[in-house]
Amino acid sequence: MKKAPLVAIPLVLFSLLVIFLFKGLFSDPRELDSQVQDKTLPAFSLPDLMQPDVTYTPDDLKGKVTILNVWGVWCVTCAVEMPYLTQLKNEQNVHIVGLYFDQDLDPDFGTKTLSRVQQEVTDMLSRYGNPYAYNIFDVYRDTSLDLGVTGAPEHFVIDAEGIIRMHHIGDINERVWNSKVGPLYKKLVAEASGNDVKERKVDVEAVMSSNINAQEGE
Amino acid sequence: MLATDVMHCRNVLHNSITAIEGNKKSAVNKARFKTVVLNILVLMVILSSFPANAAEDKFLFDTPAQRESFLTLTAELRCPMCQNQNIADSDAMIAHDMRRKVYALLKQGKTEQEIIDFMKSRYGNFVHYQPPVTAATLWLWAGPVLFIFIALLVVVRRKSVAPPEDMAAKLAKADEMLEREKE
């Protein structure tokens, strides 16, 4: 009887081990903690994929809730999710911006011309639908590296202030949209429009009070 | 070095081709055949050594120390895509890009620690093969020490407990019984 607690020790240790290993069965090693969560976008100045004269900076993504989609024509999963993203754009007016990077383009050797990349992109978008408001061309893949991108497709949900609120690795399909990305996106859109209204109200109040002050001054 | 290799290759190739042409004209010529085979072998050896040369030539370093840093860093940093490879081994695009970045940062005069921090700020602690000591990882170090300590305690306590006295009496009795049975 005295030895009962002592006997229980291996049993407890064993059950802890079982729980630990059982949890390991369902853990996804690819799921990494994103380092950019709740941070502003890293600084960049990149050309538009189709019009290289146009340059984008993080400021261009402010003012509207955006889903930044990291993709490339070489990425099979990107092609799979493209029709659904297009559907989201058409039916729910989701603002999707592409961050395009090319796999075959070795920045040190430059094996591909821009016009060929553009041709490939046009072909792919005409086949699967074009969900993008525009595409930012990450020529040297530096911005992807700054964002902690490991491959494609990856998605960043960016709020109206330009802060990254979610980093989703993998494709967006109906299930992912309804359970993970969609609710946050809708919440952020509601917040953004709420802020707009508030700001307007504040503005009105400020104007009114200044008017009152002015009247008092008179 | 690469240029001379190419020149050599071309010469060897040229020799092989003329040898083959010669073969067609004349009857079976054993000696020539041998040189052709030899030339092709040499060519294969040279060609197979090209990728290694190319990889090294891609990164040129100012000092041997810088090169050393590059080699340690690419061995210590982990590829986020092919998760059980370091970025020196991995052929994933992200590993290519990370090597490029490590090289660029070294060229800028960044220290090894600064580069590790740079990568950690983008890919998390995961990206470095040396985990930092945090509340969650402390057990990696404390666990074995704790285990040995507890085991020692148990062993020491076991030894210090003397067998109870009646046990000795019982043993004596058992011995007696054995003796009796023998008779």
Q: Does the residue B12 lie in any domain?
A: yes
Residues B35 and B77 in one domain: no
Classify domain A32-209 by CATH architecture: 3-Layer(aba) Sandwich (3.40)
Positive/negative CA dihedral, B121, B125, B129, B135: positive
pLDDT of A185 strictly over 90: yes
Answer yes or no: do B69 and B18 share one domain: no
Residue to mutate among B122, B140, B158, with most A CBs inside 10 A, is B122
- The average confidence (pLDDT) of chain B is 77
Q: What is the pLDDT of residues B90-142, one digit of tens each?
A: 888 888 889 989 999 999 999 999 999 999 999 888 899 988 888 888 888 99
How many domains are there within chain B? 3
Segment 81-110 of chain A within 8 Å of chain B by CB: 103, 107-108
Residue percentage of chain A with pLDDT more than 70: 84
**Is B132 a domain residue?**
no
Lookup result for tokens 């060229």: B107
Containing B182, the helix (H) or strand (E) segment is helix B165-182
Domain presence at residue B106: yes
Interface size between A and B, measured as CB pairs under 8 A: 43
The answer to whether the beta carbons of residues A156 and A68 sit under 8 Å apart is yes
Q: Which of A163-167, B31-35, B161-165: highest mean pLDDT?
A: A163-167
Domain housing B154: 138-182
- Tell me if B90 is assigned to some domain: yes
- Residue B26 domain flag: yes
Q: Is residue B133 situated within a structural domain?
A: no
Helix axis angle for B64-76 and B93-107, nearest 10°, is 150
The tokens describing A3, both together, are 């030895």
**Is the model more confident about B13 or about A104?**
A104
Q: Say if B103 falls within a structural domain.
A: yes
Q: Are B119 and B145 in the same domain?
A: no
**Residue A115: per-residue pLDDT:** 83
Q: Is the pLDDT reported for residue A22 higher than 80? A: yes
Model confidence band, residue B171 (pLDDT cutoffs 50, 70, 90): confident
pLDDT score, position A213: 47
Position B37 in a domain: yes
Same domain, B123 and B150: no
**Position B81 pLDDT exceeds 60:** yes
Do B64 and B48 share a structural domain?
no
B143, B119: one domain = no
Domain limit, last residue, from B33, B53, B73: B53
Do the Cβ atoms of B58 and A150 come within 8 Å? no
Q: Are residues B73 and B122 in the same domain?
A: yes
User: Which residues of B are less than 8 Å from A151 in CB distance?
Assistant: 81, 92-94
Q: Which of B58, B92, B120 sits opposite A108 (nearest CB)?
A: B58
